[in-house]
Amino acid sequence: MKTTGQPQTSPTGPKKRIRRWQKGLIICLALLLTVSAAFLGYGRWWLADRLPQVEGTLTLAGLKEKVEVLRDGHGIPRIRAENANDLFFAQGYVTAQDRLFQMDMSRRMASGQLSEVVGRDTLDQDKFFRTLGLRRAAKASLPEYSDRAKKVLNAYAKGVNAYMDKAIREKRLPAEFRLMDYQPRPWTPVDSLVIGKYMAYDLGGRWKGQAFRHTLLQQFPKKKAMELFPKNPDGPTVIQQAQNSSLHLPKLLSAAVVPHENNGSNNWVLSGDKTESGKPLLANDPHLSIAAPAIWYQTRLISPDRKVSGVTFAGVPGIILGHNEQIAWGVTNVNPDVQDLYIEKRNPDNPRQFKYEGEWEKAKRIVEEIPVKDGKTVRHEVLITRHGPIVTEFALPEKKNATALSMRWTALDPTTELEAILRFNQAENWSDFKKALTYFHVPAQNFVFASKDGEIAYRANGLIPIRKKGDGLLPVPGWTDDYEWEGFIPWDELPTLHNPEEGFIATANNRITSEDYPYHLTHTWSAPYRIQRIRDVLNRNQTFTKEDMQQLQTDTKNLQAQTLLPVLLKELPDTSLRPLEKDALQLLQKWDFQDEVDQGAPLIFHLWMDELTKQLYRSIDEETMELFEGRDLITDRLIRQAGKGKPGIWIREAGGLKQLAFQSFRQAVHRAEKLQGDNSDQWKWGQFHQVHFSHPLGDIKPLHLLFNREAIPVGGSKMTVMAAGWNKKSGEVDHGASWRTVIDLANPGVSYDVVGPGQSGQVMSPWYHDQAVPWTQGQYHPTRMTPSDKDETYRLNLIPSKKDSSL
């Protein structure tokens, strides 16, 4: 039989060829590893070479006298200067050392200038912010500031530019500039103010809710649409007028930058009667986006006329939140209705004219020139009516509809928040602080206050409009004066509380006024669960310590689950559950309602709520859902009403609460199985719910390997005091308390803080990510205003190269 087979070879032939092949592979791998190691080593050296100087001596033009910069083990600077010019010059210089790229990105985003360095991908975003005009508003605000505040802004800008010039000259700009192939332009006072305007937008956005409700009335019957309103409108006229607009807002606004709905915070203050030290305790944890670097920058500023410690936004001088040696203060968001959308009727013969009181009025026209990297400069037309800029045509400027929406917003007027901040820093008592608040206009905030003399106080402060008609629920007619603003709530009538008998004051973006308060503030208070948990703890019959406050800031008790779970569980069938579903049910039945990383029940509950929401609103398209303001609270209300035997239209059309609960529970268990396997004992909330502290360039592979760190499990959720909101699909925690602080007024020279993920934005800095794990685990470090050999580990002396009498 003829056969075929392998070529005939000697017994040793194949072995020798294999050995030569292996040897060649080893040599190639060795060369590859050598080159990679050399490249990696060079890369690390190149990045480390861009780290700022934090020790020794630097000679800088612009200083009058020597400035001392001490940094503690977390890189938090203590800047000591002999005069205001040097203090704020040094603050600008030191902040730029740590956060220059973040500062540049912040001013570019707010100013609509990202496309100049990114390209066409950000063009619509730039058009949106050019349309809003945050930079125009910042420029208009600058003349309203006192000479003293202007000098502070100028000194800060000179300090930023001193670092920037040195880094450019020495070719040591932060790595991001090299990777994006551009150099930052000089810093100006307007750049600091525009960052403040952006934060006002981030915390003051109510326009999307009006757009959502307008769209609901177009797409659904009135009764069904109104079930998703925070409350019924005051009259049918407003609803009818809103329906007259033919604009498809989800499409027109799909490229708009929408603030995170859960932007808010916790704060509280206790009188000395409730504390172990006998002096007030203050706690604050602002909830904003979580990323690297952190939104907040921690600093201590020391000069003959001030001694203040706390945090600010990188790019803004002074201390926005913090304490001095006499007082401490903190904020949460009021969530006020300070933005109104007006339906404008366009002249069919002149697209730049709009009707008002029977006459055609010409809108102000501004042409914005937007440079685009690797492309041509784009000319963008902005039309501004008597109410504000037209905001529905920035993405489709060539399409001029018969109607358009303009936006009236308090922050587009000249405002003076920095003036207030500088006065906060030097206030010595409640009277001083209240006077400073008269300069704080946007965003409206819940301020809590404590002083060394034992006073505690609260105030909702900011410009909140009084409307002639309407209450901010829907877009209103712009062609009549019926819906104009008639000024703002009088300053003396804003909600205020001083030394209450209860012995504490707390806010968590919750309702702060009773039904008989004569003015409208907002429709969109946050769900009551965080504030209820805080109040439950603070009402205990005990005296509290700073450690108790830290524990409360990281409390993971989920009162929403405790409220809704019994309602939902009783709707599950006794039979028909699969084995894994029965296991999941047992996890929920035994749950202590703590959203802890090592528990499986929180995973099931939050996936269940997510799946239930998807099924409940499946008839609403994705673009419209992006505008759904107050969704969590409205869904919560619909479930509770249905549990009481009063299901609304949305619940009934989803098959009733029983079917909705069962089907969404089944889908939640299926998702848990796909995510973490079919053994429910191994399910962990922290395996899904993790924080990455992602860098803006970390979305670009392989740069994520450089800028992003390994994900860390974290407890809490949107509904717990330890706020930790997450991406619904990935589980990535992207929102929460980027800074936490506790201050005992018995010793106001020290605070207990954590900034996640760290103080520095320089990727190779030891302070880039050193507070990430402490942030997830509820750990704090002391920050002292008085130098201590124990805490201060780095000393940099800034020496003037010549006298400068500019300030």
State the DSSP H helix or E strand holding residue 427, giving kind and residue range, or none if neither.
none
In a domain, 544, yes or no: no
Does residue 405 fall inside a structural domain? Answer: no
* Secondary structure element (H or E) that encloses residue 306, with its range: strand 306-313
CB hemisphere CA count around 721 (13 angstroms): 27
Closest to 444 measured CA to CA, from 530, 523, 331, 531: 331
Q: Which one-letter DSSP state was computed for residue 274?
A: G
C-alpha 191/C-alpha 158 separation (Å) is 12
> Tokens standing for 769?
């990510």
- 340 marked as part of a ligand binding site: yes
Query: With left for phi above 0 and alpha for psi between -120 and 50, is residue 441 left, alpha or beta?
Result: alpha
| Residue finishing a domain among 624, 648, 683 | 683
Please name the helix (run of DSSP H) or strand (run of DSSP E) that holds residue 344, with its range, or none: strand 339-347
Q: What is the pLDDT of residue 16?
A: 39
| Cα maximum dimension of the chain | 110
Integer Rg of the chain from CA: 29
Residue 545 lies in a domain: no
pLDDT of the residue at 395: 82
In the block, tokens 């209103």 appear at: 476
CATH of the domain at 68: 1.10.439.10
Same domain? 61 vs 198: yes
**60 plus 195 within the same structural domain:** yes
Cα distance from N-terminal residue to C-terminal residue, the chain: 105
Q: What are phi and psi of 295, to 5 degrees?
A: -65, -40
The model's pLDDT over 135-164, given as tens digits with 9 standing for 90+, comes to 999 999 999 999 999 999 999 999 999 999
**383: phi then psi, degrees, rounded to nearest 5:** -110, 130
Q: Please tell me the predicted confidence (pLDDT) of residue 41.
A: 52
Same-domain check for residues 795 and 674: no
Which CA distances in Å does 664 have to 272, 601, 612, 613, 651? 48, 15, 5, 9, 13
Report the share of the chain in percent with pLDDT over 90: 84
Segment 126-143 mean pLDDT:
98
265, 406, 664, 765: the catalytic one is 265
Domain-located, residue 372: no
Question: Per residue in 527-583, pLDDT tens?
Answer: 999 999 999 999 999 999 999 999 999 999 999 999 999 999 999 998 889 999 999
User: Among 249-263, 477-491, 523-537, 570-584, which stretch is predicted with the lowest mean pLDDT?
Assistant: 249-263
Q: Mention every residue, 6+ apart, whose C-beta is less than 8 A from residue 488.
A: 410, 463, 464, 465, 466
Q: Which pLDDT band, with edges at 50, 70 and 90, does 804 fall under?
A: low
Q: How far apart are CA 498 and CA 321, in angstroms?
A: 20
Phi, psi (5° rounding) for residue 77? -80, 145
35 falls within a domain: no
Kindly report, residue by residue over 695-724, the tens digit of the pLDDT.
999 888 888 888 999 999 999 999 999 999
Query: Are 672 and 796 within one domain?
Result: no
| Cα–Cα distance, 796 to 57 (Å, whole number) | 6
pLDDT at 317: 98
Question: b/e for 228-256, b at 16 or more Cβ within 10 A?
Answer: bbbeebeeeebbebbeebebbbbebbbeb
Q: Can you tell me which residue has the tokens 């009818």? A: 240
Both tokens of 365, joined, read 């026209």
72 is in an annotated binding site: no
State the DSSP code for 760: -
**What secondary structure does DSSP assign to 485-519, as a single string?**
EEEE--GGGS-EEES-TTSEEEESS---S-TT-SS
Residue 420 pLDDT grade (very low, low, confident, very high; cuts 50, 70, 90)? very high
Mean of all residue pLDDT scores within the chain: 91
pLDDT score of 575: 81
Contact at 8 Å (CB) between 113 and 105? no
620 in a structural domain: yes
Q: What is the pLDDT of residues 649-659, one digit of tens each?
A: 999 999 999 99
Question: Which residue, of 683, 713, 747, is where some domain finishes?
Answer: 683
Number of domains in the chain: 2
Identify whether residues 60 and 198 lie together within a single domain.
yes
Residue 792, H or E segment: strand 792-800
Backbone angles phi, psi at 676, to 5 degrees: -135, 15
Residue with tokens 């906060």: 424
Task: Give the H or E element holding residue 394.
Answer: none
Quick check: is 189 in a domain? yes
How does pLDDT run across 55-78, given as a tens digit for each residue? Answer: 999 999 999 999 999 999 999 999
Q: Computed from CA positions of residues 476, 482, 484, 486, in that sequence, does the dihedral angle turn out positive or negative?
A: negative
Q: Can you tell me the distance from the alpha carbon of 84 to that of 155, in angstroms, rounded to the nearest whole number?
A: 8
Write down which residue in 653, 683, 713 finishes a domain.
Answer: 683
Per the listing, tokens 């934005």 go with: 761
Assigned domain for 299 exists: no
DSSP for 120-151, written as a single string:
GGGHHHHHHHHHHTHHHHHHHHGGGS-HHHHH
* Residue with the two structure tokens 């027109």: 252
| Rounded Cα gap, residues 399 and 755, in angstroms | 46
Range of the domain at 584: 559-593+600-683
- Alpha-carbon span 778 to 722, nearest angstrom: 9
**The pLDDT value given to residue 44:** 59
Q: DSSP character for 259?
A: P
Question: 781-784 and 321-324: which strand pairing?
Answer: unpaired
265 is catalytic: yes
CB neighbour class for 699 (10 Å; exposed up to 12, middle 13-18, buried from 19): exposed
